[in-house]
Structure 1
Amino acid sequence: MVSFYRLAILCVIAIIFGVFMFFAVIWEPYCFFVKPYYSNDLSTLITSDIYTVGSSNSSSDSKDLIVMLVPSISSELIRRLELIDVNFDDNFSTNLLLLLGNDPYRFSLQYLTKRIKRKVLFLNVGVLFNLFPSGFDPCRTQTSYRVRGKWNYLMMIRFWFKHLFELPQLKNYEYIMRLDDDSKMTGHWINAFDEMRRRKAVYFANNVDIDIEEQLPGTMKLKQVTYEYLKQNHIEPKQPQVLRDAFGNNTVRNYYNNFEIIKMKFFRRKEIRHWIESIDSTNGIFHYRWGDAILRYLTFAIFAKSRQVLHRPDYNLSYCHKCP
């Protein structure tokens, strides 16, 4: 009799576990574990402040900032950050901001801070990776592009395309350099911020690359969306030939923006905010994986003159992405 009851209890537990796994795997965690947000008011969601850990090796009031979005603090990440200190000719005057999805162990942050010569700042932006456009249903919508979770990679795209320019914590910065956590400065760099000011540039671009329709179905839908937007809003692109060249038969050009430097004021202009919101409202990022790289390329083709865009290869700045 005792064995029968134990068997019954085990069966009940197995059924409960099976139901749990069904919701977790089949129905997706956004419907079971996490409540999605739909508000666009970041000031009510990102309530944490930028912070430092321990005593800083330097102190800077620079209007420039180097930004990385990092999943965790690792020894490899620290080695890449040390290369910035070694190779970037700014006398450690530019602060480094690490954007985190959670609050890591304090001793990891302290160890990192001790190894880096420039001032290191931290900000938790994890809530943004559960923030969806109004009217979008993350529970019932399927994704064809899954990396580190159902929506994580696409949320990253949306962050760099839209949310970066809305963060109230960054409102006082003029120029922001983005580096991905798997990027390296592998040789001597001039102070690219100074060069942008000297040239009155709004963007420092990386190599030109392409996204391919065959690999990312729906990529070419962006051509019709772009030209309809220009027509509806009576916009003449600043670089019409660059815009025409952006779209091939089955490809869209992009700036390989695991490195880029952005003039923040440019992206806060009314007409560019309208463009960003319009693209975001199509949900093309979530349905077709429209990347921030191709969206960045189109943004500058439409709104920036050629002389306002600098190109890393023209300056022979040594750099690599996903290299050992």
Structure 2
Amino acid sequence: MKEQANGFNPEHCRVYGKLFGPMNRVLVNLGGWRRLAHRRYLRLLVAVAILSPLIFYCLHGSSILSENDLNENQGLQSVDVGRPKIYESTSGKGNDILLTLVRNSELIDMIDTIERFERSFNSKYHYQWWFMNDEEFTEKFKEEVSSRVSGGARFIKVPGEMWTYPANIDKEKAAASREDYSKKKVMYGESESYRFMCRFNSGLFYKLNELRDVEYYWRIEPGVHFDCGITYDVFQYMRQNNKLYAFNMALQEDVRTIPSLWNTTIEFFKKNPQYLADKNNAEFVTDDGGSSYNLCHFWSNFEIANLRFYRSDAYDKYFQYLDDKGGFFYERWGDAPVHTLAASFMLPVDSLHFVANTGYMHNPNQDCPVDEEVRDILHCDCNPRKDFTWHKWSCVSKFFDVNNYPRPTSVANLKEYYPYVLENT
């Protein structure tokens, strides 16, 4: 039976308690509290302080992203009926696009990626490919790219206000942080533009005026490979099955880049428990019930998402909370862990989709089916010995294990659990 949106739901209490119970126990066990806890009235005050958010959450329930309410809830506004359509009405497509942030200097890598992805997927479905740049695209870039994209191309100049510091950032402090990261030899630690990019990808790109009518986007970066055939229309599959976020790779983040991101995220959800989804993916990102972050994240250089999620009140408030803390500049918060934590807490796990066996390669990691029969069926041109997807350092296995999902690693499992992969082979 469907629970009322504002009614009592025991599942809400279970999820909330699992996330925040260990942290509350830590607070109670601090030395000062321990010495005073024998006093009855103090014990009562501590109990009220700890339980009041839980009581509030259990009474109010999760306000967004119930799988049955994806189109009704104010947190996920769908594209309005009557807005311009990107494709002909007879195409059967939604307003879905391929999307790349790229510079003119990356033209050669971009051409290679387009040619590979057209062979793997887009030559069958002809989706438009839109390109973003913080500078103006050259005519040469536009000509070379347009001639290779089967669904047509569009070129977008990112406004300067989206590629700079927000007003609250102390630039001297940010510069000192970059210098410190550089000394520690953290990847991109010294880069100012990398931080602009991470902030842009975390909370700004979907606000571009040019993307106002877009529903799903597939992020593809220059220089990546797709070395297997993608046999089904992933956009249509996600739309028809209420999937809101899809990924291909998952690994652990460098903890030095995000030392305060987890605690900041937990602070946000303690203040906004209504944004925790029922049956979420929290167990993927924490191994101890919420006390710490295990650093697993979806590698966002391959992601497909419904922009309704990013445009929701929940995500917008989360990003603003992060932005106000300054971690994109005082640390080196990446959009991958930001997207992962948001999707894992705010979305029901059933709305997440793993896009398996694509042959995706983003240096230094490769997705290559380890099963020879799968590789043959999908016409893969990759070395299974270099597969990272099911490597012990990958987090993909954890995603499947904590959610009790069968792995798409054999033809037998594909036929039984993921038949859509084989329908067009």
**The two structures share one fold, judged by TM-score above 0.5:** yes
Distance 1:87 1:130, change over 3 A: closer
The unaligned stretches of length 5 or more in structure 1 are 1-58
Are 2:337 and 1:298 aligned?
A: no
Runs of 4+ off more than 6 Å:
none
Task: Identify the residue that residue 229 of structure 2 maps to in structure 1.
Answer: 188
Q: For 2:146 and 2:92, how far apart are their aligned partners in 1?
A: 15
Q: Secondary structure at the match of 1:115?
A: coil
Task: Identify the residue that residue 169 of structure 2 maps to in structure 1.
Answer: 136
Alignment of 1:221-260 (within 5 A): 221-235=260-274, 237-238=276-277, 242-247=281-286, 251-260=294-303
Task: Identify the residue that residue 206 of structure 1 maps to in structure 2.
Answer: 248
Q: For 1:130 and 1:276, how far apart are their aligned partners in 2?
A: 16
Contact 1:240 1:301 in 2 (8 A): no
Q: For 2:298 and 2:210, how far apart are their aligned partners in 1?
A: 26
Contact 2:95 2:215 in 1 (8 A): yes
Could you tell me the TM-score, scaled by structure 2's length?
0.56
Are 2:95 and 1:63 aligned?
A: yes
- Name the aligned partner's letter for residue 243 of structure 1: A
Q: For 1:148 and 1:92, how far apart are their aligned partners in 2?
A: 39
Contact 2:93 2:236 in 1 (8 A): no
Task: Identify the residue that residue 167 of structure 1 maps to in structure 2.
Answer: 208
Q: For 1:63 and 1:150, how far apart are their aligned partners in 2?
A: 34
Q: For 1:165 and 1:76, how far apart are their aligned partners in 2?
A: 24
Pick one of 192, 195, 198 that aligns with 1:154.
195
- Name the aligned partner's letter for residue 231 of structure 1: K
Q: For 2:337 and 2:208, how far apart are their aligned partners in 1?
A: 22
- Name the aligned partner's letter for residue 94 of structure 1: Y
Contact 2:224 2:362 in 1 (8 A): yes
Structure 1 window deviating more from structure 2 (238-247 vs 283-292): it is 238-247
Task: Identify the residue that residue 150 of structure 2 maps to in structure 1.
Answer: 117
1:274 positional shift: 0.8
Task: Identify the residue that residue 53 of structure 1 maps to in structure 2.
Answer: none
Are 2:354 and 1:321 aligned?
A: no
Pick one of 298, 308, 313 that aligns with 1:265.
308
- Name the aligned partner's letter for residue 223 of structure 1: W
Could you tell me the TM-score, scaled by structure 1's length?
0.73
Q: For 2:189 and 2:110, how far apart are their aligned partners in 1?
A: 18
- Name the aligned partner's letter for residue 320 of structure 2: E
Q: What is the number of equivalent residue pairs in this alignment?
A: 261
Are 2:236 and 1:197 aligned?
A: no
1:112 positional shift: 2.4
- Name the aligned partner's letter for residue 97 of structure 1: W
Distance 1:268 1:241, change over 3 A: closer
- Name the aligned partner's letter for residue 181 of structure 1: P
More strand as a share of residues: 1
Q: Secondary structure at the match of 1:290?
A: coil
Contact 2:280 2:347 in 1 (8 A): no
- Name the aligned partner's letter for residue 279 of structure 1: L
Pick one of 88, 95, 103 that aligns with 2:121.
88
Distance 1:221 1:244, change over 3 A: farther
Q: For 2:266 and 2:96, how far apart are their aligned partners in 1?
A: 34
Task: Identify the residue that residue 133 of structure 2 maps to in structure 1.
Answer: 100
Identity %: 19
The unaligned stretches of length 5 or more in structure 2 are 1-90, 183-187, 367-425
Q: Secondary structure at the match of 1:235?
A: helix
Q: Secondary structure at the match of 1:68?
A: strand
Distance 1:148 1:100, change over 3 A: farther
